[in-house]
Structure 1
Amino acid sequence: MTKPHILAWLGGGQRHILREAPGDATKLASMGAVLVGTAAVASASAAFALTTAVGLTTPAAVVVGILWGLLILALDRMLVISMSRRTGFWPNVAAAAPRLVLALLIGAVISVPLVLRIFQPEINSELQVMRSESLIANQKKLDEQFADLPTLQARVDELQAVADGREQPNVSSDPDVRTARDAVTTAQKSYDDAAAKAQCELDGRCGTGRAGQGDAWRSAQTTADRALATLNAAKAELAAVETAVRDRISGGAAAAASSARAELTTLRPTLDERVAARAQVLRDMEKGEKENTGLLSRLEALDRLSDGRPMMFLAHWALILLFACIELLPVIAKLFSSSGPPTLYEQLVQVQENGALAASQVRSDRERELAELEIDVRTEIERHRAAIQVEAGKHANARLLSKQQELADRAIDVWAEVAKQRTDEELARWYAWHARNDQSPVASTNGSQLPASPPTAGS
C-alpha cells in the first residue's frame, strides 16, 4: 500500500474501491493528512502540558503525547467515517451537529496547553506576581493568627531582665495591675455611656425627646450613678493592687528575680511553641506557593494577563480558535462533501453496499429454503422410521402369537401323551388285579375269605 493510499485509508477510504476511483483517492488522502496533522498537534499539546504542568520527564511526556495523538486520530477518523450522506444540506447539518460539538470540545482541549506554552514567559512572570500577592495576604493572616507573639516576647524580655538583675520590675507590667486597669477602663466606658445617655435624655435630644428631669431621665441617671459606683470601686481596687505590687517590688530585688524566673519557666516554653508553630505554618505556606504552578494556576495567570489587555485577549482567543478550527476542519470538509453530488467513490461504495445487501438477502433466502428443506427431509425420515417401527411391531407381535400357539400345542400334546401313558398303566394294573382275583378263593357268608378291592391309581 503506497503512502497516498495509507492517507486515503486514514481519511475513510477503502483500498479495493479506490483502485476503481483513483480521482477520489487524492481527496481522501488530503482528509487523512489533515487528521494526521491534527493528531500531531494533539501529541505536541499533551507533551507540553505534561512537562509544564505535571512535571513529567521529556521521554515520558513524549510517549504519553504519542498515545494521546493516536487516540485523537482514532476519534477524528471515527467522526469522519460515521458521517453518512443524506438528501439535502440541512439534514446533513443536523446529522453532523453532534460530531461538530464533539470536535469543538476536542479542539478546545488540544488548544489550551499549546496556548499556555506559547505564552509561557508572560505566564511565568504573572505567576511570580500572583505568588507574591498570595504570600503578602498569607502573611497578614499569619500575623493575625499569632498576634500575641510581640506581647509574649516583650514580657519574656522584661522578666529576663529582672531575673538577671538588669532592671527592677515595673508596676505597670504586673499582670494583676493590668487586669485591674482593664477593669477600670471597662467601668469608665460604661459610666461615660450611661452619663451621656442621661444628659441626652435631659436635653431632649434622644429617648423620649422631651427635655427636663422626667422619669426617663431619672432612670438613665440611676444607671449612670450605678456605673459611677462601679467605676469608683474599680479605681479603688486598682489603687489597692498597685500598692500591693509596689510593696512586693520594694521587698527586694532577690524576691523579684525569683518571681521573674518562676514566671519564665511557664512563659518561655509557651513563647517557643508559638514561635515554632508560626515558623512551621510559614514554611508550609511558602512550599505550597512554590508548588502552585499547575494547569489551573497557569490558566488563572493567563486570564489575568488577558483582563484589561485587548491585544493579549485577542491573541489568546485567536490561538484557541485556530486550533479548534484545525480540529473542526475534517468534519466540516466531510459535511460539505456530503452536501454535493455523490462522487464516483461514493457511488461505488453505494453499489458495493447494495450488492452486499442483495447478496446477503439471497444468502438469507437460500439459507431459509435449505432450512425448510432440511425440516421436510427430517420430517419424512421420522415418518418412515415410524412406519418401519410399526411394521416391525406387527411382525414381532405375529411371531409372538405364533410361538405362543406352538408352545400351547406342544404343552397339550405332552399332557395328552402323559395322560394316555398313565391311563394304559392303570388299565394294565386293573387287568392284572382281576386276573389274580379270578384264581383266589372267595369268602362265604359264613366267614369265608372275600377278594380285596381293585388297585387304585398310585397304589
Structure 2
Amino acid sequence: MQRIRRFFLFCSGAHIPMLERAPVETNKYAGIGGTIFFTGLLAAISGGYALWTVFNQWWAALLFGAVWGLMIFNLDRYIVSSMKKREGFWDEFKMALPRLVLAVIIAMVISKPLELKIFDKEIQAELIIMEQKTFKMQEDKVKERYQARITELNAAIDKAKKEVTQQGGRRDTLMLLAQQEADGTGGSRIRNLGPIYKAKKADADAAGKSYDTLSAHNQQLITQYQQEIAATDSTIKNTIAELKRDRLDGFASRMDALGHLTDASAPIRYANWFIILLFIAIETAPVFVKLISPRGPYDDLLEQHEYAFLVHKKERKAMLDMESDERLTIAGAESEQRVKEVTG
C-alpha cells in the first residue's frame, strides 16, 4: 500500500520530500495522483482502440496507446503541479481557467474512441445502411453516364413505331375509301369499278407498298436500336459488377455513423453527451480538487521554498553586482595609476 500511495503521490506532481513534512496532505495528493493515473490509462485505451480501427495492427495499437497515454498522463501531471494555491479564489480561478479549457479539450479527444466502442453494435448497423447508400449512389452514377444514350435510343424507337403506325393508318384509310367506292357506300355513291375506283385503288396499293417498305426499314432500325440498348445495359451491369465495394469500417466512417445515430436518436444523443461529460468530469477533477481545496501546510512549505529561492537569487545577483563594481573600481584605479606613471 505504501508503494501504491507513493506512486500516486508521484503522479500528482507533488514534491514528495516536502510533502512528507506535511503528512496531513498525503491523502489529498494521493487522490489527485490516482485520478491523473487513471485518466492516462483511459487515454491509452482510447488511443490504442482508435489506432486499431485505422490500421488493424495490435502492436501498433499497443505502441501508440502507450505513447498517447503517457503523453496525456504527463500533460495532466504538469497541469496540476503547475497550479499554486493563492490567497484569493478568483486569482486562482483565473490562473486555472486555461488549464481547465485544456483539460476539457483533452477529455473530448480521449472520449471519442471509447464512445465508438460503447456504441459499436449500433454503429455497425448504421455502417451497413451507409454502405448500401454508397453503393446505390455509385450505381446511379454509372447508370446516369449511359442514361442519355438510352433515352435517345428509346425516343428513336418510339419515332420509328409512330411512323409505321401513321403510314399503316393512311394505307387503311385509302383502302377503305377504295372499297366504299367499289360497293357504292361512299365516294361517288355509284356502284361500279370505273376509273374513280381504279384511281383510289392505285393510291391504296401505293400506300400499302410504302407501308411495307417503311415497316421493313423501321423494323430494321428498331432491331438495331434494341441491340444497342441491350449492349448498353450489359455494359452498365459489367461496370457495376466491377465497382470496388470497400467495406466502410474506418475511423472516419465510424465517426460519421455515430453522428447519424446521434442526429436520428435522442436517447443515443443524450447517452453520447453523458459519456463526454463523464470524461470531462474525470479529466477536470484534479484541477477542480486542487482549485477548491483549502490552502494546506504543503502549500505553505512550497511557498516558503520558492520564496527562499527567490531571496537567494536576489542575494546572489546583488553579490555579483557588488563584485563587479569592486572589480571595476580596482581596474579604474589601476588604470589611473598607470596614466600618472606614464605622464609623471
**TM-superposed deviation, 1:367:** 0.6
Question: 1:314-325 alignment to 2 at 5 Å?
Answer: 314-325=270-281
TM superposition score normalised by structure 1: 0.57
Structure 2 counterpart of 1:318, one-letter code: F
Residues 332 and 283 of structure 1, relative CA distance in 2, 3 Å threshold:
farther
Counterparts of 1:389 and 1:44, CA distance in 2: 82
Partner in structure 1 of residue 93 of structure 2: 93
- Find out whether 1:50 has 2:3 as its counterpart: no
Partner in structure 1 of residue 310 of structure 2: 357
Counterparts of 1:379 and 1:126, CA distance in 2: 86
**TM-superposed deviation, 1:4:** 3.3
**TM-superposed deviation, 1:83:** 1.9
Cα deviations by residue, 1:125-170 (Å, 9 ceiling, x for unpaired): 1211222234335444543433357679999xxxxxxxxxxxxxxx
Contact 1:80 1:330 in 2 (8 A): yes
- Find out whether 1:336 has 2:292 as its counterpart: yes
Partner in structure 1 of residue 195 of structure 2: none
Counterparts of 2:333 and 2:144, CA distance in 1: 101
Contact 1:149 1:274 in 2 (8 A): no
Cα deviations by residue, 1:301-336 (Å, 9 ceiling, x for unpaired): 234334454443333222222122111111111111
Partner in structure 2 of residue 374 of structure 1: 327
Partner in structure 2 of residue 280 of structure 1: 239
Cα deviations by residue, 1:181-202 (Å, 9 ceiling, x for unpaired): 9xx9xxxxxxxxxxxxxxxxxx
Counterparts of 2:78 and 2:261, CA distance in 1: 38
Question: 1:189-338 alignment to 2 at 5 Å?
Answer: 246-247=212-213, 275-276=234-235, 279-280=238-239, 283-284=242-243, 287=245, 290-307=246-263, 309-337=265-293
**TM-superposed deviation, 1:346:** 0.9
Contact 2:146 2:232 in 1 (8 A): no
Task: State the identity %.
Answer: 28
Counterparts of 2:297 and 2:207, CA distance in 1: 110
Cα deviations by residue, 1:62-121 (Å, 9 ceiling, x for unpaired): 100111111111221222122222332233223222221211111111111101101111
Contact 1:149 1:275 in 2 (8 A): no
Contact 1:107 1:324 in 2 (8 A): yes
Partner in structure 1 of residue 135 of structure 2: 135
Partner in structure 2 of residue 23 of structure 1: 24
Partner in structure 2 of residue 13 of structure 1: 14
Cα deviations by residue, 1:285-310 (Å, 9 ceiling, x for unpaired): x52xx343333332332343344544
Counterparts of 2:16 and 2:158, CA distance in 1: 98
Q: Secondary structure at the match of 2:147?
A: coil
- Find out whether 1:385 has 2:341 as its counterpart: no
Q: Which runs of 5+ in 2 are unaligned?
A: 168-205
Q: Secondary structure at the match of 1:292?
A: coil
Contact 1:104 1:328 in 2 (8 A): yes
Partner in structure 2 of residue 432 of structure 1: none
Structure 1 counterpart of 2:21, one-letter code: E
Contact 1:17 1:348 in 2 (8 A): yes
Counterparts of 2:157 and 2:116, CA distance in 1: 59
Q: Secondary structure at the match of 1:146?
A: helix
- The structure that has the greater radius of gyration is 1
Residues 250 and 41 of structure 1, relative CA distance in 2, 3 Å threshold:
closer
Contact 2:115 2:275 in 1 (8 A): yes
Counterparts of 2:241 and 2:147, CA distance in 1: 14
Counterparts of 1:260 and 1:124, CA distance in 2: 49
Partner in structure 2 of residue 222 of structure 1: none
Counterparts of 2:260 and 2:6, CA distance in 1: 48
Counterparts of 1:79 and 1:22, CA distance in 2: 23
**TM-superposed deviation, 1:28:** 1.8
Q: Secondary structure at the match of 1:86?
A: coil
Cα deviations by residue, 1:206-253 (Å, 9 ceiling, x for unpaired): xxxxxxxxxxxxxxxxxxxxxxxxxxxxxxxxxx999768437779xx
Count of residue pairs brought into register by the alignment: 303
Partner in structure 2 of residue 197 of structure 1: none
**TM-superposed deviation, 1:178:** 6.4
Contact 2:139 2:240 in 1 (8 A): no
Q: Which runs of 5+ in 1 are unaligned?
A: 156-171, 185-239, 392-459
Provide the alpha-carbon RMSD of the alignment. 3.9
Partner in structure 2 of residue 41 of structure 1: 42
TM superposition score normalised by structure 2: 0.74
